[in-house]
Copies of this chain bind each other. A is one copy, B any other.
Amino acid sequence: MAAARRGDRLETLKAEAASAGTPIETCVCDVTDVNQVESMAAATRAAFGRIQILVFVTGTNTTERALPRLKPAIWDDMIATNLNGAYYCAQAVLPEMREAKFGHMIFVSSTSALAADGSGAAYQSSKRALNGLSHAIRLEEKENGIRTTVVCPGMVDSELLDRRPVQPTPEQRAMALLPEHVAEAILSCAMMPPRAVIPELHILGSAF
């Protein structure tokens, strides 16, 4: 089940997946809305049964990230999407994972969670919190067979870069991570046998 806010993107993804021979289901969902998150979880269960893996890759940034431009309303939106949404998703799947004594939550955070940088106060605060959420869930739920992983990528050549007030140069973009590198890392973590867990993994473009 792939979920996102934008239905048109999901339709494209679904068509691509189908023509690649790996059909998927999709679900429109804004993670800042608890009810939509609950509905997404219900739709997933209806389609596939128990949810075993949650991959939270939602994350946004704002062109207004510099402190003189950041305003409380923008801050609130950033925290709601990047942080609260992650908790809503986790709490929606925790009961069934606990019951099954099996589950894996993978949160995609950022190297901005590891050291102060120019990504803006709201972004890096939310990403540090996301790391904390992942580790807190693991500590509390490991006795229930639940594993968590937080993946911290550096700059990825994605449309999120378009929101940077100062655009990376084409040379920098050409050295940035590709989304498939992050996907590869997520897959490696998800493929670990149940006895092992990768609680944290950092990944960068090798020139950075």
A106 interface hit (Cβ, 8 Å): no
Q: Is the CB of B201 within 8 A of A201?
A: yes
- Copy number in the complex reads 4
A140 interface hit (Cβ, 8 Å): yes
Tell me which residues across on chain B come within 8 A of A177, comparing CB atoms: 195-196
Docked CA distance A79–B117 (Å): 22
Counting chain B CB atoms within 10 Å of each CB, the highest count among A120, A201, A205 belongs to A201
Q: Is the CB of B115 within 8 A of A136?
A: no
Tell me which residues across on chain B come within 8 A of A138, comparing CB atoms: 116
Nearest neighbor of A37 in chain B, beta-carbon distance = B72
A13 interface hit (Cβ, 8 Å): no
Q: Is the CB of A116 within 8 A of B142?
A: no
Tell me which residues across on chain B come within 8 A of A133, comparing CB atoms: 121, 125
Partner of A202, one of B83, B181, B200, B208: B200
Tell me which residues across on chain B come within 8 A of A20, comparing CB atoms: none
Docked CA distance A193–B204 (Å): 11
A49 interface hit (Cβ, 8 Å): no
Q: Is the CB of B136 within 8 A of A116?
A: yes
